[in-house]
Copies of this chain bind each other. A is one copy, B any other.
Amino acid sequence: MTNPTAAMLVIGDEILSGRTRDSNLHHLAQELTRIGISLREARVVADAHDAIVAAVRALAAAHAHVFTSGGIGPTHDDITADAVAAAMGAAIGQRADAMAILAAHYDRAGLPFNAARQRMARIPEGARLIENPISAAPGFTLGNVHVLAGVPDIFAAMLAGVLPTLTGGPPLLSQSLRVNRGEGEIAGAFGALAAEFPDLAMGSYPFVQNGAHGTNLVIRGTDPARVDAAMLRLTRLFG
């Protein structure tokens, strides 16, 4: 497996209380798959310093990349930048480059660049800023941790700026076959096929449509010839 691995850390009480439905994980998963980075794990934690620090440390040690979402706004519950700095052992303060970006943004908008807004210039020493083309307040990359906003449009826009800077592996290919039979009917032969192709991932996803049971069979891997060979076998079995 030559694909770099990644993890996501979703930060926010609002996800765990059920107030808000996270959608950034799904978007990140699709984008990383496209560029050949393998998302292996995700965690959701509350706006709690110790929980963020522990999760960042665990994920950054285990994966090539960690992407965080949420907690970089101007309010008292926005503590991600400080927690990530603590997790990575970096100093943090209001940085001149981030201050300049924010000052220019609020000047253009005719809004006061007050103390709360200046908090968004808190960036760890040694971090590289991530551009926020929507609301200006930057994210940052510190070591292998990419810190992005939680609002979905902004998360996506910031991620689009980060992805071209990353080196992926071969694209993670996926082919699927829709079968009008229940999982329990195809499981035996499908499992035997999966055992013949240990270099591929094979999954089955049941559905019910108009009262009838069906299954989507999915084959994933990085070698196009192997994926094709397995798909041919699959189609002969169930097509």
Contact = CB atoms under 8 A, between A and B. Distances in A.
Contact of A46 (B16, B28, B40, B195): B40
Contact of A115 (B26, B77, B188, B205): B188
Interface centre among A12, A116, A204 (most CB of B within 10 A): A116
A77 B117 contact: no
Contact of A188 (B51, B106, B114): B114
Interface stretch (A138-146, A163-171, A179-187): A179-187
A174 B44 contact: no
A94 interface: no
A183 to B, nearest CB: 5
Given A25-B44, A41-B44, A184-B74, A191 B14 contact: no
B18 A77 contact: no
Task: State which size class the interface on A falls in.
Answer: 35 or more
Contacts of A119: 187
Nearest to A182: B111
Interface in A209-239: 218, 220
16 contacts: A12-B203, A13-B201, A14-B218, A15-B26, A18-B27, A21-B23, A40-B45, A73-B187, A74-B183, A76-B191, A76-B195, A106-B184, A111-B185, A116-B188, A120-B184, A151-B206
